[in-house]
Structure 1
Amino acid sequence: MESKPVVKHILLGKFKQDITPGRIEDLINGYANLVNLIEPMKSFEWGEDVSVENLQGGFTHVFESTFDSLEGRDAYISHPVHVEYANELLSALEKILVIDYKPSRII
């Protein structure tokens, strides 16, 4: 059985030192709410770094969005709600890394 194509959009970030925990929580909630506002965005997960290997390069948070296709990801990227939110988030981040990939399944 063939699985449906999926695209993962990963954002690693480090918030600026002057961004309060309350503001970080608001920004995370805003990011999570995008899944309710932008149809191509199928799911959202996030978390804080808990690595003991110290290889995270200073990044403290990871955000993962899932899309059914590259076209869905593209629609999300250019969606006005995303653009407005991204400008808000980016102004609060000291470091950012974004990577998109199509997972390969090894069974």
Structure 2
Amino acid sequence: MILHCVFIRFQQEVTVAEKQAIYTDIAALKDVVDGIVDVKAGPNVSPEGLDSGYVDGFTVTFENAAARDAYLDHPDHKAVSEKIVAAAAGGMSGIFVFDMKV
């Protein structure tokens, strides 16, 4: 399995409701992209203070790398990605992505 982790520095003016709408759109991809096992999203709750300003994020668990790759190319994912980039502080520079085998 692949754990796809995305951490976001949202612009200050992005509301909790707007963040939730993005997370709802991401979760909806499970219904249209084969191979998504699970989706989780929310704010950082770590007490360590090591978030480097990435205080929100989500994870998508995929059956395998092929499912992750199909997700990345899926038009619905691309549409959600555009919303994330538009809401992130600094656009792409406000997003950190890390994938790992689990």
TM over 0.5: yes
Aligned residues: 98
For 2:70, give the aligned amino acid. A
The answer to whether residue 35 in structure 2 is matched with residue 36 in structure 1 is no
Unaligned 5+ segments in structure 1 are 1-5
CA RMSD of aligned residues (A): 1.1
Runs (4+) of structure 1 exceeding 3 A deviation are none
Larger-gyration structure (1/2):
1
Correspondence for 2:65 among 46, 70, 80: 70
For 1:87, give the aligned amino acid. E
Unaligned 5+ segments in structure 2 are none
Higher helix share: 2
For 2:12, give the aligned amino acid. Q
Deviations 1:43-76 (A, max 9, x none): 1011211121111101111211011111111001
Correspondence for 2:13 among 3, 15, 18: 18
1:99 is displaced (CA, Å) by 0.8
| Distance in 2 of aligned mates of 1:77 and 1:100 | 12
For 2:71, give the aligned amino acid. Y
For 1:89, give the aligned amino acid. I
| Distance in 1 of aligned mates of 2:26 and 2:51 | 22
For 2:98, give the aligned amino acid. I
Once the two structures are aligned, what percentage of the paired residues are identical?
28
